[in-house]
Amino acid sequence: MQIYKNQTLKIYNSIAGKKEVFKPINEGHIGMYVCGPTVYSNVHLGNCRTFMSFDMIFRYFKHLGYKVRYVRNITDAGHLVDDADEGEDKIAKKALLEQIEPMEVVQRYTVDFHNTLQKFNFLPPSIEPTATGHIIEQIEIIKEIIEKGFAYEVNGSVYFDVVTFNKTNNYGKLSGRKLEDMIANTRELSAQSDKKNPQDFALWKKAEPEHIMRWPSPWGDGFPGWHLECTAMSTKYLGKTFDIHGGGMDLKFPHHECEIAQAEASNGVSPVNYWLHANMLTLNGKKMSKSTGNNIYPNEMFTGENPILSKPFSPSAVRFFMMQAHYTSILDLSNDALLASEKGYLKLMEAITNLKGLPTGSSSNLNVDAWKQKCYDAMNDDFNSPILIAHLFEAVKHINLIKDGKESITANDKTILEETLNTFVFEILGLTGVNEDGNGNSKKLEEVVNLLIQLRNDARSNKDFALSDQIRDQLLAMGIQLKDGKDGTTFNVS
């Protein structure tokens, strides 16, 4: 279904600084590139939020009927640890530390990354290319940039000549910086550099003898610079100009700025039509960061084993928490905020469960078609998932009223409501049901609790309230809450 033909999607384009109507290069097709993780340590929850934002965006595009090629790379080599002058490979450093092969580090953390995303119910990207798998492509780009006069070689390393580039192009247009200002503000601290200019960045770095990760090149053994892989892989799989490039806000400068420069220098055209930047997840009001240790890991969320958490939170509850904030806003993680959104999540899930058994009538109190369009409108407005969720709760309210016999819904409307809820909640937001990310014993648990409910109801009809309350209260102490409704008793597990 080509839903996109009837919906107008607006996207906040970082490079334009405003929302723009989205129009893909080829009708019905979208090329999207998102900067993936550097696999030298476990992904923390902040990393996950960015990828989750783009997972949601990917899901919405697909729902709209676009054929999407979603490329998300794995950075498994080449990022420098300190200053570019120091020339040390992050992956190699970690490998020496742990006395294993670099590719072993890469493998371990790539697996961790995939496992984590799977728990959060991510859709796999169409292509997940690695930097080490595209060394040849990167070398070719460097050759081209040198040829066009935008790069120079010094002592086996190649640097991008930002000053020369800026004469014909605009270096800084994405991040709103001016090269003159940057030069004016540079402190001359690091001497002995091969670079002509501090703003120049490495395309290729010469490998010192002790450097394990190295590849032959026209300039000697070395490794690619840290912005190049994205240019190489996005160009290879999506073309010289493609629709969407995403990534974390912290990559805007210099990483994405350099990508633009590399692509314009080598291809002569602007690489990206729409730049999307997902904002940070903060902890204690500060950005999560590997280096400062201000972070929390997904597994700590699921087990509750972190000092700031009062209890474990399911992947889906965490996902709901993140979806309640707009992807361009900073979101601060706290136990209170998680508890609040978990309750909301459970309420939403329960309503969806209850919807199935709802009676139908001759009229509807909710204008289902109008409501459905409001859901689309929310997503069409730069993927505004918080507004969407607000609308979902409007449906929850009606479902509960119908369940209480205070409102009614026609059979046809009920079908639309059910389909729409399933679409937005599971397909687009990517949430899963309460017990679905559990351990598979939910069926047995359900049977056991239903038996207890039956026993309690017998006790209640015999006015044996001591027994009935004992069943209810002890179940509650175990985290199983009984809910007496008009048509019997249900329960949920927290």
As measured in angstroms, the least distance from the Cβ of 464 to RNA is: 9
341 Cβ partners below 8 Å, 6+ apart? Answer: 317, 320, 321, 324
CA angle in degrees (0–180, nearest 5) for 135-114-346: 150
Restricting to residues 373-392, which ones interact with RNA according to CB under 7 A? 381-382, 384, 386-387, 389-390
Restricting to residues 5-34, which ones interact with RNA according to CB under 7 A? 17
Quick note: the x/- pattern for RNA over 328-367, rule CB under 7 A, is: -xxxx-x-xx-xxx-xx--x--x-----------------
Q: Which long-range contacts does 347-352 make (Cβ < 8 Å, 24+ apart)?
A: 347/393, 347/396, 348/320, 348/389, 348/392, 348/393, 348/396, 348/425, 349/431, 349/433, 349/434, 350/490, 350/492, 351/395, 351/396, 351/399, 351/400, 352/421, 352/422, 352/425, 352/433
Please identify, among the stretches 133-141, 208-216, 359-367, 479-487, the one whose residues bind RNA according to the rule CB under 7 A.
479-487
491 sits near RNA (criterion: CB under 7 A): no
Contact 246, 54 (CB under 8 A): yes
- Taking the least distance from each CB to RNA, the nearer of 49 and 59 is 49
494 sits near RNA (criterion: CB under 7 A): no
Quick note: the x/- pattern for RNA over 130-159, rule CB under 7 A, is: ------------------------------
- Give which of 240, 159, 248, 172 is closest to 201, Cα–Cα: 159
- Taking the least distance from each CB to RNA, the nearer of 148 and 435 is 435
As measured in angstroms, the least distance from the Cβ of 386 to RNA is: 4
Restricting to residues 227-266, which ones interact with RNA according to CB under 7 A? 247-255
215 sits near RNA (criterion: CB under 7 A): no
Of 269, 474, 484, 488, the one binding RNA by CB under 7 A: 484
| Distance (Å, whole) CA 279 – CA 87 | 30
| Distance (Å, whole) CA 132 – CA 330 | 33
326 sits near RNA (criterion: CB under 7 A): yes
- Taking the least distance from each CB to RNA, the nearer of 143 and 169 is 169
285 sits near RNA (criterion: CB under 7 A): yes
As measured in angstroms, the least distance from the Cβ of 469 to RNA is: 5
Please identify, among the stretches 207-215, 283-291, 431-439, 444-452, the one whose residues bind RNA according to the rule CB under 7 A.
283-291
Of 135, 396, 428, 475, the one binding RNA by CB under 7 A: 396
The full DSSP string for 192-212 is: S-S-SSTT-EEEEEEPPTT--
- Taking the least distance from each CB to RNA, the nearer of 332 and 436 is 332
Quick note: the x/- pattern for RNA over 440-469, rule CB under 7 A, is: --------------------x----x--xx
Contact 65, 3 (CB under 8 A): yes
Report the 3 state secondary structure along 110-148. HHHHHHHHHHCCCCCCCECCECHHHHHHHHHHHHHHHHC
- Give which of 127, 126, 129 is closest to 138, Cα–Cα: 129
56 sits near RNA (criterion: CB under 7 A): no
DSSP 26: S
- Taking the least distance from each CB to RNA, the nearer of 236 and 252 is 252
Of 143, 393, 433, 445, the one binding RNA by CB under 7 A: 393
State the CB neighbour count (10 A cutoff) for residue 415: 13
As measured in angstroms, the least distance from the Cβ of 329 to RNA is: 3
- Give which of 330, 346, 323 is closest to 281, Cα–Cα: 330
Of 244, 325, 352, 409, the one binding RNA by CB under 7 A: 325
Tokens (6 digits) for 435: 């017990």
As measured in angstroms, the least distance from the Cβ of 251 to RNA is: 4
DSSP 94: H
| Distance (Å, whole) CA 474 – CA 480 | 9
Tokens (6 digits) for 37: 């993780």
126 sits near RNA (criterion: CB under 7 A): no
212 sits near RNA (criterion: CB under 7 A): no
DSSP 429: S
- Taking the least distance from each CB to RNA, the nearer of 24 and 78 is 78
From residue 155, alpha-carbon distances to 163, 212, 220 in Å are 20, 19, 9
280 sits near RNA (criterion: CB under 7 A): yes
Of 401, 416, 445, 493, the one binding RNA by CB under 7 A: 401
Please identify, among the stretches 149-157, 236-244, 260-268, 400-408, the one whose residues bind RNA according to the rule CB under 7 A.
400-408
Of 20, 81, 270, 452, the one binding RNA by CB under 7 A: 81
